[in-house]
Every structure is written in structure tokens, then in C-alpha cells.
Amino acid sequence: MNAAILALVAVALPLVSCYDEKYDKIDVDKIIADADLFTACSSRVNAFKLLPEVISTSCEKCSPIQKEHVRKTVKALSEKRPDDFVKFREKYDPDGKYEKSFSAFVLGGE
């Protein structure tokens, strides 16, 4: 009985500690491909309340789809809107505390 409960908790725990699946449904490719939409979204990126945690944990609680979305978005932001990318880094990692691990996550791919 205890083994069954432990197995159930082991399976359910990752599901509980992930971000809402609504973020899986965002069409990141469409946003990145549309310059006006990307500009509008990049100016609203500060409204995303989970960003500090996503950056500090290198997207630890992200689903595989969310990890892919974060990678694509951060890469596009750094390439297409470098000034906004600098502001993004200054706001969410002003001391560069997470830069190495978050960059490794963004560039790494899983």
C-alpha cells in the first residue's frame, strides 16, 4: 500500500510543480514571425509574472513545450530586438547571477 502511494506521488509531483498548460498553447512561431506582433509582445514581456522564476531556475518547472517556447523567444528577442534584450536582462538578472545557467539552458536545447 505504501509503495502504491509513493509511486502515485512520484508520478503526480512533477505535474503539480509545472506551469499551467495554457502557456503550451501560445503560438510562439507566429508571434516571432510577425514583426509588429513581436514588437507588441516584447514590450509586454514584463507583464509575465513567472519570468523571474523561469530565469532563476532555468525553466525548471516548464513543460517541454514551454522550454522550447522560452528558448525560441529569448533567442528571437536577443537577435531581433537587442535593446529590449538588454533591458530584459537588466530587469530580471541585474547582477548577472543567473546569466550563465540561463544562457546554457537557452542555448542547450533538450
Q: What does the pLDDT profile of the chain (110 residues) look like in tens digits?
A: 333 333 333 333 344 468 888 888 889 999 899 988 888 877 666 557 888 999 999 999 999 999 999 999 999 999 998 998 999 899 899 999 999 999 999 998 65
The answer to whether residue 2 sits within a structural domain is no
Measured distance CA(10)–CA(36) in Å, rounded = 44
The answer to whether residue 34 sits within a structural domain is yes
What's residue 102's pLDDT? 95
Please state the pTM of the whole predicted model. 0.77
Enclosing domain of residue 50: 19-108
The answer to whether residue 58 sits within a structural domain is yes
Cell readout for 13 is 509531483
Measured distance CA(84)–CA(82) in Å, rounded = 5
Contacts of residue 53, defined as CB under 8 A and 6 or more positions apart, other chains included, come to 61
The answer to whether residue 93 sits within a structural domain is yes
The answer to whether residue 10 sits within a structural domain is no
The answer to whether residue 38 sits within a structural domain is yes
The answer to whether residue 9 sits within a structural domain is no
Do the Cβ atoms of 23 and 69 come closer than 8 Å? yes
Do the Cβ atoms of 53 and 61 come closer than 8 Å? yes
The answer to whether residue 14 sits within a structural domain is no
For the chain, the domain total comes to 1
Return the CATH number at 88: 1.10.2080.10
